[in-house]
């Protein structure tokens, strides 16, 4: 049996956080181990919980997802982070990958794509949208 993938979810919108958390928590091999509603809380939650994979919203008040991603990567270079965004575009995807993200998922994806991204990144692969 595979170990459970422990996920940190950093998302400022409550309804999105609840929806993503629900999708993750019904998977037999995943659990949301911690949640945060901004980048500052996300960095602290990462330090406290050391999740296997982090799902990080890009646009948040206080500390945005890019700053939080960089902060986590400086302290934890092996962190596996997937950026969540509602914005498409190769330039944005390339930018977050340069900053150290392991994946990029659009918020309007089907649940299978989200869970496939988590599993791929957990295994050490990169994940970017195909369309």
Instruction: Name the token pair of 111.
Output: 């649940």
**Side-chain half-sphere exposure of 116, counting CA atoms within 13 A:** 11
* 28 pLDDT higher than 60: yes
Residues in CB range of 60: below 8 A, 6 or more apart: 10, 11, 12, 37, 38, 39, 68
1: pLDDT strictly greater than 60 = no
**Residues facing 104 on adjacent strands:** 83
Per-residue pLDDT, 92:
79
Sheet of strand 53-57, all strands in order from the earlier edge strand to the far edge: 30-36, 5-10, 53-57, 81-85, 103-106
pTM for this prediction: 0.93
* Greater pLDDT, 54 or 100: 54
Mean pLDDT, rounded, for 79-88: 88
DSSP 52: S
């Amino acid at each position: 049996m595979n170990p459970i993938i422990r996920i940190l979810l950093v998302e400022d919108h409550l309804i999105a956080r609840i929806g993503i958390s629900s999708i993750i928590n019904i998977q037999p091999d995943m659990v949301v181990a911690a949640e945060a509603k901004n980048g500052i809380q996300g960095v602290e939650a990462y330090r406290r919980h050391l999740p296997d994979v982090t799902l990080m919203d890009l646009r948040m008040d206080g500390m945005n997802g890019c700053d939080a991603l960089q902060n986590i990567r400086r302290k934890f270079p092996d962190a596996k982070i997937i950026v969540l965004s509602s914005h498409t575009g190769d330039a944005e995807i390339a930018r977050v990958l340069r900053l150290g993200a392991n994946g990029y998922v659009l918020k309007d994806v089907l649940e299978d794509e989200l869970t496939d991204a988590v599993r791929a990144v957990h295994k050490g692969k990169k994940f970017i949208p195909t369309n």
